[in-house]
Structure 1
Amino acid sequence: MDKIEIRKFTPQDRDWLLEQHKVHYANEEGFDDSFGVLVGSILDDFIADHDPGCEAGWIAWQGKQRLGSVFCVRLDEQTAKLRLFLLVPASRGTGLGRRMLDTCMDFARARGFGKMQLWTHESHRAAGALYAKAGWELGETKRVISFGKENVEQTWRIAL
């Protein structure tokens, strides 16, 4: 089996990443098409206007196959935001998620951010367990109707 590499996101990764989010969240979470619209907008904004000095995205690769993604973007002068964290099902439980999370957090630290934040849903229990194990703390929760269904939004934070 080929070694897993974590490479910088390029615009050529956009369509794959959008499709992965749409398919995964439709199949596993029951999200409607509005979720794909949101992810496409996030990706397009990143491609068009990210600051490479303090923002980056990564794609995990094994040979010629993409396995997952994670992004670090600036929320404000002191806070980085983790976005678009995804692993294909076959990569879950392998330690790759922690490796990608560490890559993102290390980048934020190296760019001088003092804290990080992320937004997710309560149904992403495995991701929540990973964040907690890495020292993140669950902040606000909010019941909402989003992406065509009832959800509980979560905000997680960590001091770097």
Structure 2
Amino acid sequence: MAQTRRDQSVAAVRHFNRFYTQKIGVLTDGLLQSEFSLTEARLFYELHHREAPTAAELSRELALDPGYLSRLLRSFSNQGLIERVPSALDGRQHLLRLSAKGEQAYARLNNRSEDSIRTLLSTLRGDERERIVEAMRVIEELLGEKKPRASVESVVLRAHRPGDIGWVIQRHGEIYSQEYGWDERFEALVASIASKFILEHQPEREHCWIAELNGRSVGSVFLVSESKTVAKLRLLLVEPSARGLGVGTRLVDACIRFARDAGYRKVRLWTDSQLLAARHLYEQAGFERIGSEPHSDFGEGLVSETWELKF
């Protein structure tokens, strides 16, 4: 049975490879209607983005046979696409860089590549494009060089800055639509909450935290004032790729500590009965459910819940 599953996986990967290579046009004699092959186009990319590499460096990076790479470089040189300059550190080595003609050829290839991908994605909705990008990210993560799994210590909590509020609104709309089927009315609610926070922000009594992992935003939460003694925890979000790292716990704990220091007597929040992971976080933090009622604000059959933590 295990062998059969492995065979099925191999067949699935080969099927995808055939599909994708045809889709992106790498089976034709010239890539992107140019005179260059896929390997030559990748060589252009490396020469453009690297600071005068050696042939040995390119061979290692591209996993190309040195003899084959030498023939490609000789062809580039004969066409006036590259220049060879002696290394200032080692006169026996020659560094490679694109000539002016080579840079022009790279620019044409790069523009055609971007146009080709835009055309490929143009028929998809925004959420479908996001699914493709996320799937590619997963493939790269699983098949690329193995890195130590991120931990909660890798996550940084910081205050919001320009651009973060737009990200909070967008990701709430996308994630809750994909995972729970909520419609655009939920995104509108998030936008109104976030807008009010920015326009009426009381720095000593209200705060927004953005969770970052390796420089990428992966979570958010807001603490806002409802009254002199009651704060509200709002817009808790953890990206699917960062779940299981304790990000949500850290965000909720940050809210509770801030509320205590600001002199609030209670922290209150609204959630939905479907959001099981969030409800578990609130229970762990000491919140108690104090009320619930059916609603259809973002879809059918929803049940809102109010939770509260007293100090």
Q: How does 1:62-141 map to 2 (within 5 A)?
A: 62-141=213-292
Shift of 1:121: 0.3
Deviations 1:94-117 (A, max 9, x none): 111111110011000000001100
Q: Which runs of 4+ in 1 moved over 3 A?
A: none
Structure-2 separation of matches of 1:124 and 1:37: 19
Which residue in the other structure is 1:59 paired with? 210
Check the 8 A contact 1:11/1:47 in 2, yes or no.
Answer: no
Which residue in the other structure is 1:11 paired with? 162
Determine if the alignment matches structure 1 residue 32 to structure 2 residue 203: no
Task: Tell me the percent identity.
Answer: 38
TM norm structure 2: 0.50
SS in 1 for 2:163: helix
Structure with more of its chain in helix, by fraction: 2
Larger radius of gyration: 2
Structure-1 separation of matches of 2:197 and 2:174: 21
SS in 2 for 1:34: helix
Unaligned runs of 5+ in 2: 1-149
Structure with more of its chain in strand, by fraction: 1
Shift of 1:136: 0.6
Structure-1 separation of matches of 2:221 and 2:246: 14
Q: What is the root-mean-square deviation in Å for CA atoms of aligned residues?
A: 1.2
Deviations 1:71-105 (A, max 9, x none): 10001111110000000012112111111110011
| Count of residue pairs the alignment pairs up | 160
- Larger relative contact order (Cα-Cα within 8 Å, sequence gap ≥ 6): 1
Shift of 1:3: 2.3
